[in-house]
Amino acid sequence: MSRQPYTCDWEQPFSPEEYRARRAKVSAALQAQGLDGILLTNPADIYYLTGYDMIWYHLRCMTSCFVRAEDGATTFFDSPAHRTMVETTPEITDVAWMSRFVPKDNAGEIADALAERGMNDRKIGMQFWGYSPHHDTLRMVETAFKARGMTVSDASSLVEHIRLYKSDEEVAVIRQAAAIADQAMTAARNIIAPGVMETEIQAEIMATMMRAGGGDPSIRTMVGSGTRAGTHHSPAQHRRVGNDELVFVDFCGCLHRYHVNLNRTFALGEVDHRWYDLMERASATIDAIVEQTGPGDLLSKVQKVGDAATDANGLRENVWFIGGYSLGISMPPDWVGEIWVDPRAGAPDFEMKPGMVFNFEGQFDDTENWAGGSGAAYIDSLLVTETGLEVLSSLPRTLVKV
């Protein structure tokens, strides 16, 4: 007796119409670049088009999704080991199963499946810039494609550029993720007390987000107290918070893989008054960005306004970083992507349009041994709307005493 397919019995985050619209955008972009299709291996892009969410994209992982330029139709490639996940993802309808964890065999199986679907002698985009799979694994796929008459072009950023501008359904999820982040930051603030470990603060954040229906973010939670308050990219440790110390908390609210970044600094007990003054002046940077930039401006204008406000408020001496980057779907280990407020490494400078989401942060280091800690910071996430920029957190970005 043949087995019946598994079915999805829970509510999906997006409508079928939303996914059709996304595939239509990718189809149009492929045709504009003269490509007949693209093999997506970037987990964020795969999720964007299918809703498929999987936890282990290792270096030899060949889980992928092909999108045909002609009509946006997709073919999904995965191992039968993931059959339950594939069959309970409603937007996956055409599946070509691969043998397990043998990249060279998998490459041939993918190429054969595409040839059977009329893609031999066609021009195929691939994603050579990414964390998974390894470059050597992708080269096996390229070799298999060429053996079947296909030509290959690097289209690593094609879908990422489309994802930059969120639909109304995506914006609704972003707003929910922002509300979850505020709840979690409030919970973190409420647990801060002498003797509490940094890891306990992280536990409260994660538990609050999960109870609110959120998910695990692609970036680890950063917590630093006292001498560690100015550390950057440092995870929570077993250090216990002391009295009269700064506590730095930075994480992403995450819902359906959509991220909203939030960073606040708290003062437990008495700390040097200059920390309060610095963070009061720093908070005005976001106000200036909201007042002076908006739809139609280039994203780089945000950086220029942020830098100007930083200098005007006498903050430059203490700056570690002023800037930001686009936010949206992400999978570990990368939570950002390649689109920065200050364009890097030759990346385009994008126009701000409704649906764009990005963060902006002010990270400041102590230079004179002020009492309380080694640094302080804020991060806010901003949404571009039809009328301007909206700050997604309702929490004060000044130094808050607890």
pLDDT category of residue 321 using cuts at 50, 70 and 90: very high
Render pLDDT for 182-228 as a digit per residue (tens, 0 to 9).
999 999 999 999 999 999 999 999 999 999 999 999 999 999 999 99
CATH fold label, 164-401: Creatine Amidinohydrolase (3.90.230)
| pLDDT value of residue 6 | 85
Look-up of token digits 């939570």: 335
Query: pLDDT exceeding 70 applies to what percent of the chain?
Result: 99
- What does the mean pLDDT of the chain come to? 96
| pLDDT value of residue 1 | 52
| pLDDT value of residue 100 | 74
Of the candidate ranges 122-136, 182-196, 334-348, 382-396, the one whose mean pLDDT is the lowest:
334-348
Of the candidate ranges 100-104, 356-360, 362-366, 395-399, the one whose mean pLDDT is the lowest:
100-104
How many helices (H) and strands (E) would you count in the chain?
A: 10, 14
Spatial distance between the Cα atoms of 246 and 375, rounded to a whole number of angstroms: 8
Spatial distance between the Cα atoms of 155 and 396, rounded to a whole number of angstroms: 41
Q: Which two tokens stand for residue 10?
A: 């829970």
Predicted confidence (pLDDT) at residue 236 exceeds the cutoff of 90: yes
| pLDDT value of residue 202 | 98
| pLDDT value of residue 5 | 80
**CB atoms near residue 84 (< 10 Å):** 10
Look-up of token digits 């190429």: 111
pTM score, two decimals?
0.96
Whether residue 333 is preceded by a cis peptide bond, meaning omega within 30 degrees of 0, is yes
CB 263 within 8 A of CB 217: no
51-77 mean pLDDT: 96
| Extents of the domains making up the chain | 16-162, 164-401
pLDDT category of residue 131 using cuts at 50, 70 and 90: very high
CATH no. for 16-162: 3.40.350.10
326-346 mean pLDDT: 93
**CB atoms near residue 110 (< 10 Å):** 22
Spatial distance between the Cα atoms of 116 and 119, rounded to a whole number of angstroms: 7
Predicted confidence (pLDDT) at residue 344 exceeds the cutoff of 90: no
Spatial distance between the Cα atoms of 144 and 127, rounded to a whole number of angstroms: 15
Render pLDDT for 21-62 as a digit per residue (tens, 0 to 9).
999 999 999 999 999 999 999 999 999 999 999 999 999 999
